[in-house]
Structure 1
């Protein structure tokens, strides 16, 4: 028997969210069942491996006392998952293709991204969401029913040598309840203490009973949460900066500057808010995204399943099945109204001004040019250009169904333990746009009176100068008129998106002793795996771009991501636990993975643990890991999205496209998948110690480091830089089908450099072409005019290198009436280097926007025979505000407010919130109250976010509570 030392148990316990302390009786019980123990991070059963790696364990009691209603709620305060922008929830959901899918959430270790964190249930894989976040596939943790979870084990170090792909930053393993006896009903209700209603309730039932000679554990869970809007809080209701406006209002359109006689935009009557004076001295009606920002989506989930475990002679058969259904609705700001070809400033017929008084109408006509414009049907009308967006936010509804089936056989073959299982895991999603999405052609037909009452577009007979049908002209300046609104409704579309992601798997493992070394037994594990993955993401035709329609999606402001891919893979692994001496242990593992698309990879791991004295363990590990290109990245056919380019990373790009300034710009692009993508690679190092001078005291300190290379992304900055000398990347107008590169305003080819080259010609001097363009067009901004739908190929283009220190301290004080526990947990990021978005420039992120250097929690808890209570403070240190991408007018306002320091920078303040928990255990029941953000702290101001705060590291919900009741039958 390989013993678990009291120190090892204490070290493992030191990482629990609510610290557990093992008594001598507990240790004896652990030793009695030692042959069945297997911890996350190893496939070897029954050996003391806790000391070789830092493991966070969230126990059943921790789950009960956390106040969590979902897996995301449970994980959001775990230090290894805090910081950075990787972990996301429904607070980041939106109604556009590059948003987090509504109602879904993901966990990311060390801020390396959700695709770099492997999600397991009972040690086996889970199908990724069929709807990627960007192009990163991720496991939707909202689809995992909390009621079925016995505990969660978090290993925040590279683990591909054990588990294969995606374990770059580590593994989160959800362990299901098994061999449950009795029945338990749990009910909870929560809400904020604000006047608005953010109510949520949760009901779940767990039943365990003997059946057919085995044990059946059944669970059912239902959760429902209302939405939460920026308009529900004073801190988010209005923008922090008046200058953070958009020229595109929801009401009272502005006159587009091309139609204005003096070249300046101006507002028309009816703006519901005070007019804004722009940096050009214009008076416009403005829009702020706070008006329609949804801070948390309404969300509903229902799940049910069972785990059946039975002994069939010498073989144990275990089957677990669950199905989960979630539903959510999310929205994004109303779509901009553009011309049919996606350029700014749609035309309105001059007669729309007739709704105003003669004085107002004549004043507007005196200030504008009335020009001819072509209609959808082919007529020529006279009118002017305006700037506006639709009044209704883009709104989508998503239904997701997740299914998991695992059936495993296990037993002993002599002194060896064996196990084999088949796995089926599937995620199906359906999305429908239910509001705020309009057909561009029908809308422009309505603007010209060419939209028929049945929703079709009229045809025009030039010979008779007649339309096949005539309708009223839609008036974008008229609001609250039922007939006008009904005409707009004819142009509404309901694009859909259907996705399916499936994992089929088979594995076989064997674990046992293979010999002795220096009188100590060597433990080992071997295994093979086969896996097939499939994914499809199929949008409806009216939301897809293609070359045939000039890459114009039928609807405004709503793109799509179309992909289809599959792959098969096989792997073999071996792991050895070698006690080199009585105090020094070695873990060695290696795994070979072979994929039918990108090839093969081998990943090793070496870990040591040294116990010079019983109270101290020193540990170190080194491993390599990999992440296979996601099926979405490999199989994207065409994805409409936006991409940033960074003029601060390349001065040549800045001089041509940003008037020499180091700002970031965003453009509409088309992303293409790349079947030639290679796997991302990672190397991780961890060194630390655990010291337990007494049974009630534990201190652990761990240094960790990740080097993550060949990240998959698009790099528009690099493409713009390459296009300076590579003419194949430069296109006047749309990029031709089958080619890649940058799309320029078609009129740019009307000018040449001093050698008579256009921008499409090899050897063209782009600086001379820019000068010629300025003379020719007298543009508003002195930069090369980009057009739309630049075509970019996903590439292995980036890297990120991260290092830090984890510290955990645990102290228990025993009294006759109960025990008092003090726990402290902290993570300090030493460095976080990553490519700047859209650039090959490496920047230091630690201490910058969304990357706090220090994250900590301090807890004090009391547990008696029946009464329990705790108080925990969560701390996030200050970090730099994201003001580098702000416009000049915004920086001027910040300076006038005195918000900038002497270097022209500012920090988002440190934030500390407190969670309180109090409860009582009766004979067959328990009741508890959790209060988050006890002192109702507002999130720190963040001027770099349109929300006014960082919704990843902070939240604006304020004080909120949850009352829970459990009854055991």
Structure 2
């Protein structure tokens, strides 16, 4: 499959014509002016061309080594928060969104996203080359775990904020995050960082690192060792997040009903008075899940990175890189929910409860309990990453060439260490049929053991707990094998100026396998053998090859045009050619105009095409006036939660995208620079799920409704079989409480976003008290629209909802809505004088509307804007020693309340860490 556009054909034709005419267009070389320095043969992010001045040719944000030190970044994720182009939406994720559940991001991992378009649309590179993706996907998206890059090895981070498919690969839809590692160092450097919050709880972070490098006439090398440890931060440790806004109605003191579903559930009298509530289904003993959840999990990281460069003679050079990383994270989530039948003659049942069940007319021969286990679901994830690169570079007739082989692997092991319970053994234990050897067919009073769900489940012996708990191991592995070759040189002249060219080829093989325990995957009946915990099995592989070319045409002394094209071929999705055009015009010494256009083609990730069943959960918006209020909600005003299964789809279409930008750079002398860029992205055939579309179809197609608990006399006895798309309700009718929903990944439609980036810096180099630099980095998102299904026959009360088309689709505006701030600003001032340097800066996140689809969130409520002030100071004591102090959130400001989040805080955009103070010491030999 090859996708072409008229502009793509035109660019390909232009490249071909230029190639065929350059040989006859050779002129005698014109020597460079005597005062012009020869540029080093370097390649900047966003181009394969080397040895030419591409400064300001396109928007590239760079965090230099000094920036990384002054902002006190503990990892790459911390650093990227200082770039406004990486914020907003739910594309980025960090350890604050990780946890023990399938819907959480993988424990201890983090990934980068540009423009809120998602990690799958942002290409993350290390030294300009790909690395293996994480073996555990984030939902259905593969990603590069930026926590697997040792921070002490990072020299700088370059972020190309426009699409780069023609340069780096068809999947560089939103741009590139290129982490450049150290390579030139001579001597030994030891560093130690220690920090903690000032809130009185222990969130200490400790980092120790060693950098050793040597440079000889023929051989130079570098070794970096980096160790990092972070203690956990829990929701309960902060006032703002200690109590969740919507406590669970399944409590550690369970609610009881019968299989004929009596009018109301009841709960035992032992439920604490402040937890006793009455809701839609009757009595319940609520549980505050935030008392168990880790906001930032405990993490330990140990990494090593080494390089070696050997001059073999002439211009020929051998180079190699070896990176090793070992990370361990421990994450906690709320206790698992459970429901099961229970014996009326259970010996632990309180007499008061037994009497109430009889007096209220419950069918005591068929009782069912709904509750949560008393301990948090806790998992430990150990990840081992390694990458080995071997290459040669040299010169051939004035052309620089480079080729390299890369092998990269990410392997993860996950183990449940608490809170995961075996369904069959709990069910047996509720009838006294649990055997001491783990079997489930013993008789009460004749070897059978009881699981006691009463009195807060505190009366169970260690023997019973050991039998009903599971460790649920999970193993994952991701591999990348890649070869690339590139060549750069000048060929031909235009107007007396050299024309640079770059050509290359790439082949890569990617494999991924995620193998959870059968205990955490759906069995043949669609059931999971453990409560409230699941994993997705993935098995997929792909081979891809590419050819690419690039040139920079010096049309006039003040105008140049960059043309690039790349053909990528996937063995499972066919081929695609993606062109790119970039224009740079300098009409005067102080003004530069730039613009560009490119296309992209993203084949569905391996986790999307090779996934089995993903266990997740969702909630139907049932606020008064919602489109489902009088149907599926049954008049109930409040979100109706359900469990869900999501299936992979090998028949997905690839996503396509078009991006363009236009901007300007103003230089006010040699001290001030102002950049202003408008950007626009338009993606089609997005891969995702749309649960509301399934509910709308079910309103006109009753065959999509199934009965989750059929009983005698029910008109609808159909149950939802594994792999079948549909909705199971408690009674098999629309309006009954929803239990299960089964969905499939589909191409849901379109996503569009546009906005403006603003950058400004001004330098004061000659003041009596030192040198100053002020800077502003700001992004304004004008619009972020995403396709969602809608009801063509009526209106939707959600703010920003556009007209619904006849095919049941519309673009929903998200800019300014929940988790999509319109403005993100980082601004500050730095100072240096002699041995001292300092920086004072602020991070601003604009306000936005709260999640107003929930009944208990007032319509029109806004999450307030949030500004944090930060400070850093460094002192070089002598030639060998330096110390530093970094204070994040200087004013110790709490984040704004976000009622649409279970933690009361939007952890995609904010954090609850509070004031955090870090001390830094460096010694150099």
TM-score, length of structure 1 as denominator length? 0.85
* Equivalent residue in structure 2 for 1:849, among 798, 806, 818: 818
- Is the aligned partner of 1:962 residue 2:921? no
How far apart, in 2, do the equivalents of 1:289 and 1:590 lie?
A: 52
Any residues of structure 2 matched to 1:249-288 within 5 Å, and which?
Answer: 249-250=251-252, 252-256=253-257, 263-272=263-272, 274-279=274-279, 284-288=284-288
| CA deviation vs aligned residue, 1:720-748 (integer Å, no higher than 9, x gap) | 434555677565644446x6321445964
Q: For 1:239-388, what aligned pairs fall within 5 Å after superposition?
A: 239=244, 241=245, 244-250=246-252, 252-256=253-257, 263-272=263-272, 274-279=274-279, 284-313=284-313, 314-339=315-340, 346-352=341-347, 356=350, 362=355, 365-367=358-360, 369-373=362-366, 384-388=367-371
The residue aligned with 1:531 is 508
Which residue pairs with 1:17 in the alignment?
none
The alpha-carbon distance between structure 1 residues 458 and 817, as it changes in their structure 2 partners (threshold 3 A), is same
Instruction: Give 1:193 deviation, angstroms.
Output: 0.4
Structure 1 residue 832 corresponds to structure 2 residue 784: yes
User: Equivalent of 1:37, from 15, 29, 42?
Assistant: 42
Higher mean C-alpha displacement, 574-583 vs 64-73: 64-73
Q: Which runs of 5+ in 1 are unaligned?
A: 1-27, 340-345, 374-383, 460-465, 749-772, 774-781, 892-899
The aligned counterpart of 1:148 is 153
For 2:147, what is the secondary structure of its paired residue?
helix
Aligned with residue 490 of structure 2, among 493, 509, 513: 513
Match of 1:913 in 2: 868
Structure 2 counterpart of 1:378? none
**In structure 2, C-alpha distance between the alignment counterparts of 1:190 and 1:564, rounded to whole Å:** 41
Taking the aligned partners of 2:368 and 2:264, their CA distance within structure 1 comes to 12
> Are residue 179 (structure 1) and residue 174 (structure 2) matched?
no
Matches within 5 A, 1:867-882: 867-882=836-851
Name the structure 1 match of 2:451. Answer: 474
Tell me if the contact between 2:190 and 2:923 (Cα under 8 Å) persists in the aligned partners.
yes
| 5+ residue gaps, structure 2 | 1-32, 708-717, 791-807
1:641 equivalent in alignment to 2:616: yes
The answer on whether the counterparts of 1:96 and 1:559 sit within 8 Å (CA) in structure 2 is: yes
1:102-158 Cα shifts (integer Å, max 9, x gaps): 010111111111111101111100111010010000000000111111111000110
Contact 2:705-2:729 within 8 A present in 1 as well: no
The total of aligned residue pairs comes to: 863
Give CA-to-partner distance per residue, 1:238-262, whole Å, 9 cap, x none: 24x4xx2221112x3233487897x
Give yes or no for the alignment of 1:114 onto 2:109: no
Offset at 1:803?
A: 0.5
Distance across 1 between alignment mates of 2:166 and 2:778:
28
* Alpha-carbon distance, 1:484 to partner: 3.6
| Correspondence list, 1:374-773, <5 A | 384-458=367-441, 469-479=446-456, 483-546=460-523, 548=524, 550-643=525-618, 656-659=631-634, 666-723=641-698, 729=704, 733-736=718-721, 740-745=724-729, 748=732
Name the SS for the 2:224 alignment partner.
strand
C-alpha separation in 2, matches of 1:257 and 1:468: 25
State the alpha-carbon separation in 2 of the partners of residues 846 and 684 from structure 1: 18
Per the alignment, do residues 247 and 570 of structure 1 end up closer, same or farther by CA in structure 2, a change over 3 Å counting?
same
C-alpha separation between the residues in 2 aligned to 1:652 and 1:483?
A: 46
**Residue 757 (structure 2) pairs with residue 806 (structure 1):** yes
Measured in 2, the distance between the counterparts of 1:452 and 1:30 equals 89
Distance 1:286 1:786, change over 3 A: closer
Separation in structure 2 between the aligned mates of residue 481 and residue 265 of structure 1, nearest angstrom: 22
Quote the offset at 1:628 in angstroms: 1.8
In the alignment, what sits opposite 1:861? 830
CA shift for structure 1 position 627: 1.8
Counterpart position of 2:897: 941
Deviations 1:843-875 (A, max 9, x none): 101001111011112201111111111110111
| Alpha-carbon distance between aligned partners in 2 of 1:561 and 1:595, rounded to the nearest angstrom | 24
* SS state at 1:555 partner: coil
Task: Provide the secondary structure at the position in 1 that maps to 2:537.
Answer: strand
The 2-side partners of 1:910 and 1:730 are apart by: 43
Residue 793 (structure 1) aligned with residue 728 (structure 2): no
Are the structure 2 counterparts of residues 162 and 468 from structure 1 closer, same or farther at C-alpha, using a change threshold of 3 Å? Answer: farther
Measured on the aligned residues, the alpha-carbon RMSD in Å equals: 2.6
Per-residue deviation, 1:390? 0.3
Separation (CA, whole Å) in 2 of partners of 1:164 and 1:385: 55
SS of residue paired to 1:124: coil
The correspondence for 2:774, drawn from 809, 819, 822, is: 822
- In 1, are the aligned partners of 2:249 and 2:286 still within 8 Å (CA)? yes
Alpha-carbon distance in structure 1 between the residues aligned to 2:620 and 2:261 = 31
- What are the superposed Cα offsets for residues 327-383 of structure 1, whole Å, 9 maximum, x if unpaired? 0011211111112xxxxxx424344455x4x6676456534624213xxxxxxxxxx
Q: CA deviation at 1:30?
A: 13
Q: Secondary structure at 2:749's aligned position in 1?
A: strand
Range with greater deviation from structure 2 (113-122 or 649-658): 649-658
Taking the aligned partners of 2:664 and 2:503, their CA distance within structure 1 comes to 29
Distance 2:627 2:848 in 1: 30
- Structure ranking higher in helix proportion: 1
Moved more, 815-824 or 610-619: 815-824
Deviations 1:555-612 (A, max 9, x none): 0111120010001011000101001111111001000000100111111100101100
Indicate conservation of the 8 Å contact 1:734/1:789, yes or no. no
Q: Would the aligned equivalents of 1:734 and 1:743 in 2 still touch at CA under 8 Å?
A: no
- Alpha-carbon distance between aligned partners in 2 of 1:582 and 1:665, rounded to the nearest angstrom: 65
Distance in 2 of aligned mates of 1:212 and 1:810: 40
Report SS of the residue matched to 2:92: coil
Give TM-score scaled by structure 2 length.
0.89
Deviation at 1:77, TM superposition (A): 2.3
Q: Structure 1, residues 448-485: CA drift from partner, whole Å, max 9, x if none?
A: 111111222125xxxxxx67952242221135756545
